[in-house]
C-alpha cells in the first residue's frame, strides 16, 4: 500500500520492521495456547529466521548499490564561474593576493596576447614566466633548431629536444608548465613578410640576437602602435627598456644606427654568462606583467642596464628623437 501511495522507501521499511517486531513480541509474551499466536504462525523462531533473511537481503542490496556507485563514472564538474577555469584561482593565488594585481589584473593576464621574438636565451625565461604568470596566449617566432651549445642558458630546451625546432620545443615545455596557456609557434624568421604578426598581439617582447631584427621589430611595432619590450645582452652585461611611441621613444631613437662591426659582437662570438639571460629574460617577464596589469612603474622612458661582473644596476632616462625616421610621425 505504501509503495502504491508513493510513500518514502525508508518509511515503508520502517513500518515493515515495526510489524515484524510486533509479531515477535506477541510470540515472546503471550502463552502458547493464545489464539493470536496461533493465527500468526505459533512460533517465534520462524519469524526470527524471516528477520535474519530480510536483514541479509537488505545488507546485500546496500552493498551492491555502494559498489555500483563506486564503479560509476564521476559526474562532469560544474562549469566554473567567472573568467577562470577550475584550478586557476589556486594556481594564481599568490598573484591575486598582490594589491597591485588582484583578480582584475589576473583577468587581464588571462586575456592578454604576447608575441616573443626569439626562443633563445632571453625568450626562454621570459616565456616560461609569462606562461606561469597566466598569460593566455603566447606566440613565439624563431627559425632555429635546438643545439647543444644552447642548453647552458636557454632553459626552455632540454637535451631531448636537440635537433627540434626551438618553437616546437618551447611549445612542449610551456604546455607542461601551464595547460591553461595557448602557445602559437611560428617557425620562420622575422622579416618583412612575417612582421604582420605583430598586429595580432597586445605586447611584443624582442629577445633577438641581431640588430637587423631589432630594427625591423621596432619599426613594425611603431607602425602597428604596439608596445615593445626589447632587451639585449653580451658577455656580462644586459639592457632592457619599454618602447611605445608617442608616449616614449622608440628603439631607433636611442640606437639610431647599428654599432660598428666588432663593437657589439653576438654571444656566439664574444660569449655570455650562463645565468645572465635568465636575469634579463625574467626582467622582461616582470615588465610585461606590470604593463598588462598596470602595476607599479614600468621602464617606459628609461633604459635599465645590468652589469653582472661588477654587480651594478643603472637606469638612465631616455627621450624621443623629434627627427627619428621611424617614430617622428607616430600618433
Beta bridge partners of 128: none
Give dist(CA 331, CA 328) in Å, integer. Answer: 9
Judging by DSSP bridges, how do beta strands 113-117 and 137-141 pair with one another? parallel
Count of C-beta atoms within a 10 Å radius of residue 307: 12
pLDDT digits (tens, 9 = 90+) for 248-303: 999 999 999 987 766 666 666 678 999 999 999 999 999 999 999 999 999 999 99
For residue 4, the model assigns a pLDDT of 47
- Distance between CA 191 and CA 84 in Å, rounded? 36
Q: Break the chain into its structural domains and give their ranges.
A: 2-71, 90-317
Do the Cβ atoms of 285 and 125 come closer than 8 Å?
Answer: yes
For residue 23, CA distances in Å to 44, 53, 263 come to 8, 16, 107
Above 80 in pLDDT, residue 80?
Answer: no
Residue 137 dihedral angles phi and psi, to the nearest 5° = -130, 125
Amino acid 261: pLDDT: 66
pLDDT for the residue numbered 77? 47
Would strands 203-206 and 113-117 be described as parallel, antiparallel, or unpaired?
parallel
C-alpha cell of 258? Answer: 647599428
d(CA 275, CA 84): 34
Threshold 0.85, pTM exceeds: no
Q: Does pLDDT of 223 surpass 70? A: yes
157 φ/ψ angles, rounded to the nearest 5 degrees: -105, 145
User: If you classify domain 90-317 with CATH, what class do you get?
Assistant: alpha beta
Helix (H, G, I), strand (E, B) or coil at 251: helix
**Parallel, antiparallel or unpaired: strands 302-307 and 237-243:** antiparallel
Chain Cα centroid distance, residue 55: 54
Residue 20: half-sphere exposure toward Cβ, Cα within 13 Å: 17
Summarised one tens digit per residue, pLDDT across range 103-145 is 999 999 999 999 999 999 999 999 999 999 999 999 999 999 9
Q: What is the pLDDT of residue 259?
A: 77
How far, rounded to the nearest angstrom, does the alpha carbon of residue 31 sit from its chain's CA centroid? 80
Helix and strand numbers (H, E) in the chain are: 13, 8
With beta carbons less than 8 A apart as the criterion, state whether 306 and 262 touch: no
Amino acid at each position: 500500500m505504501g509503495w502504491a501511495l508513493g510513500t518514502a522507501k525508508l518509511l515503508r521499511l520502517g513500518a515493515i520492521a515495526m510489524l515484524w517486531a510486533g509479531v515477535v513480541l506477541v510470540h515472546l509474551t503471550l502463552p502458547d495456547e493464545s489464539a493470536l499466536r496461533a493465527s500468526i504462525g505459533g512460533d517465534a523462531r520462524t519469524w526470527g529466521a524471516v528477520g535474519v533473511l530480510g536483514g541479509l537481503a537488505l545488507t546485500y542490496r546496500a552493498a551492491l548499490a555502494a559498489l555500483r556507485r563506486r564503479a560509476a563514472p564521476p559526474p562532469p564538474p560544474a562549469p566554473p564561474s567567472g573568467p577562470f577555469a577550475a584550478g586557476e584561482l589556486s594556481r594564481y593565488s599568490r598573484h591575486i593576493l598582490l594589491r597591485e594585481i588582484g583578480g582584475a589584473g589576473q583577468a587581464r593576464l588571462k586575456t592578454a596576447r604576447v608575441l616573443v621574438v626569439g626562443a633563445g636565451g632571453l625568450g626562454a625565461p621570459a616565456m616560461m614566466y609569462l606562461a606561469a604568470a597566466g598569460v593566455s596566449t603566447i606566440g613565439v617566432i624563431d627559425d632555429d633548431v635546438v643545439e647543444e651549445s644552447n642548453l647552458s642558458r636557454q632553459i626552455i630546451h632540454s637535451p631531448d629536444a636537440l635537433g627540434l625546432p626551438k618553437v616546437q620545443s618551447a611549445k612542449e615545455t610551456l604546455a607542461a608548465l601551464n595547460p591553461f596557456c595557448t602557445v602559437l609557434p611560428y617557425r620562420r624568421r622575422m622579416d618583412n613578410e612575417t612582421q604582420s604578426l605583430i598586429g595580432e598581439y597586445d605586447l611584443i617582447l624582442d629577445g633577438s640576437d641581431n640588430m637587423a631584427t631589432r630594427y625591423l621589430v621596432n619599426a613594425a611595432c611603431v607602425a602597428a602602435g604596439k608596445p615593445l619590450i626589447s632587451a639585449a645582452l653580451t658577455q656580462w652585461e644586459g639592457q632592457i627598456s619599454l618602447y611605445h611611441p608617442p608616449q616614449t621613444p622608440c628603439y631607433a631613437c636611442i640606437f639610431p644606427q647599428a654599432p660598428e662591426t666588432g663593437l657589439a659582437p653576438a654571444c656566439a662570438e664574444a660569449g655570455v654568462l650562463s645565468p645572465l639571460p635568465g636575469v634579463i629574460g625574467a626582467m622582461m617577464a616582470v615588465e610585461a606583467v606590470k604593463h598588462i596589469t598596470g602595476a607599479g612603474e614600468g621602464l617606459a622612458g628609461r633604459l635599465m642596464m645590468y652589469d653582472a661582473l661588477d654587480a651594478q644596476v643603472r637606469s638612465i632616462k631616455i627621450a624621443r628623437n623629434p627627427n627619428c625616421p621611424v617614430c617622428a610621425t607616430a600618433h
